[in-house]
């Protein structure tokens, strides 16, 4: 590891959020949610975080269809063909969207179906929900694990149970790394205590320390995809900036304070995500965080 926190050139592992230095946003976000887009860009400018807009996207959830950075200059493009968009093919952004990005020189492609939102990592460890096995019925579990380890360069894969009644099945709405050995997870005690204990056992068995964040989902709208209002785990981090969703509800303050106590050296900033969360996602979903050397950040101008 270099003194500036970037891996050596030979390093092959998923880049954790705290080593990223740029945030990318889909060009569909300002069209659909202009107020949120303006607030997000304003915060990034104020905090001097490199950012850019990805052109030619079909939906705002950039995290899900973007390549995974699995090394200093290595990226992996998985197959984006989610079952929940089976009847909405017009919302699927194709890999060709990323061809114009000059920093994607070492891009490998995989035929495995995997949304970027179903992957959280501290580098050596990658956490996914077990939905990946059902999404790839043509592969055995061992074949899936073997390919993931090779492509992502991880030492350990942890498969957590998919949240009940959640058709999306992403891990980034359930758990996130806040440091190498600590995870924040949803507090399921009032929603589904049995599931919460099951999730906690899986994670603590691997030696991680856990901190819960308030979790008060509002699923009264009757939409096909559940609302993400009340989900605070879906934050985004780039370097020492931690952006946390807020929803104008009492739990906002407690979520922010817990994260500040956990990470006193970070710049923890809340951002109103109530409107977009009603469509099923928040800040982690709408961003793509990458690590680029200073000399390559200029390449984002052509994104």
The predicted pLDDT at position 9 comes to: 38
pLDDT at 120 over 50: yes
pLDDT at 177 over 90: yes
pLDDT at 181 over 90: yes
pLDDT at 137 over 90: yes
Q: Where are the domains of the chain?
A: 28-294
Question: Once rounded to an integer, what is the mean pLDDT over residues 256-269?
Answer: 96
CATH of domain 28-294: 3.75.10.10
Asked if 22 contacts 238 with a C-beta cutoff of 8 angstroms, the reply is yes
Question: Once rounded to an integer, what is the mean pLDDT over residues 191-202?
Answer: 96
The predicted pLDDT at position 112 comes to: 98
Q: What angle do CA 65, 104, 27 make, to 5 degrees?
A: 45
pLDDT at 252 over 90: yes
Question: Once rounded to an integer, what is the mean pLDDT over residues 234-260?
Answer: 97
pLDDT above 70: percentage of residues in the chain: 92
Question: Once rounded to an integer, what is the mean pLDDT over residues 137-157?
Answer: 97
pTM for the model: 0.92
Cα–Cα dist 60/276, whole Å: 9
Residue 171: count other Cβ atoms within 10 Å of its Cβ.
26
The predicted pLDDT at position 2 comes to: 40
Question: What is the pLDDT confidence band of residue 243, given thresholds at 50, 70 and 90?
Answer: very high
* Residue 243 bridge partners (DSSP): 236, 269
- According to DSSP H, which parts of the chain are helical? 28-32, 34-46, 62-65, 131-135, 141-152, 193-204, 251-262, 274-277
The predicted pLDDT at position 300 comes to: 64
pLDDT at 3 over 90: no
Question: Once rounded to an integer, what is the mean pLDDT over residues 242-253?
Answer: 97
pLDDT above 90: percentage of residues in the chain: 85
Question: What is the pLDDT confidence band of residue 12, given thresholds at 50, 70 and 90?
Answer: confident
pLDDT at 301 over 60: no
Question: What is the pLDDT confidence band of residue 4, given thresholds at 50, 70 and 90?
Answer: very low
What's the mean per-residue pLDDT of the chain? Answer: 92
Question: Once rounded to an integer, what is the mean pLDDT over residues 26-43?
Answer: 97
Cα–Cα dist 289/147, whole Å: 23
Query: In which residue are the tokens 């924040």 written?
Result: 184
66: nearest Cα among 20, 35, 133: 20
pLDDT at 7 over 80: no
Query: In which residue are the tokens 């739990």 written?
Result: 251
pLDDT in tens, 206-236: 999 999 999 998 765 556 788 999 999 999 9
* Residue 289 bridge partners (DSSP): 23
292: left (phi over 0), alpha (psi -120 to 50) or beta: beta
SS3 41: helix
């Amino acid at each position: 590891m270099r003194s500036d926190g970037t891996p050596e050139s030979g390093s092959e592992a998923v880049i954790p959020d705290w080593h990223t230095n740029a945030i990318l946003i889909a060009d569909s976000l300002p069209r659909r949610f202009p107020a949120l887009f303006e607030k997000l860009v304003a915060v990034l400018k104020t905090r001097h975080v490199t950012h850019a807009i990805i052109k030619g996207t079909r939906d705002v959830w950039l995290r899900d269809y973007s390549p995974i950075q699995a090394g200093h200059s290595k990226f992996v493009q998985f197959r984006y063909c989610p079952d929940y968009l089976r009847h909405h093919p017009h919302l699927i952004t194709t890999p060709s969207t990323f061809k114009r990005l000059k920093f994607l020189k070492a891009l490998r492609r995989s035929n495995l179906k995997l949304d970027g939102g179903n992957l959280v990592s501290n580098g050596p460890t990658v956490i996914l929900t077990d939905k990946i096995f059902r999404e790839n019925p043509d592969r055995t579990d061992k074949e899936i694990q073997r390919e993931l380890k090779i492509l992502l360069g991880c030492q350990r894969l942890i498969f957590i149970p998919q949240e009940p009644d959640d058709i999306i099945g992403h891990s980034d709405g359930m758990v996130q790394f806040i440091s190498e050995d600590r995870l924040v997870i949803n507090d399921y005690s009032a929603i589904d205590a049995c599931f919460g204990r099951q999730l906690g056992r899986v994670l603590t068995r691997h030696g991680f320390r856990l901190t819960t964040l308030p979790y008060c989902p509002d699923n009264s709208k009757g939409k096909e995809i559940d609302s993400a209002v009340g989900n605070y785990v879906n934050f985004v981090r780039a370097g020492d900036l931690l952006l946390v969703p807020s929803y104008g509800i009492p739990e906002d303050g407690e979520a922010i304070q817990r994260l500040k106590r956990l990470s006193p050296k970070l710049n923890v900033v809340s951002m109103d995500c109530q409107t977009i969360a009603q469509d099923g996602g928040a800040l982690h979903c709408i961003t793509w965080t990458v690590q680029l050397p200073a000399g390559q950040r200029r390449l984002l101008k052509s994104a």
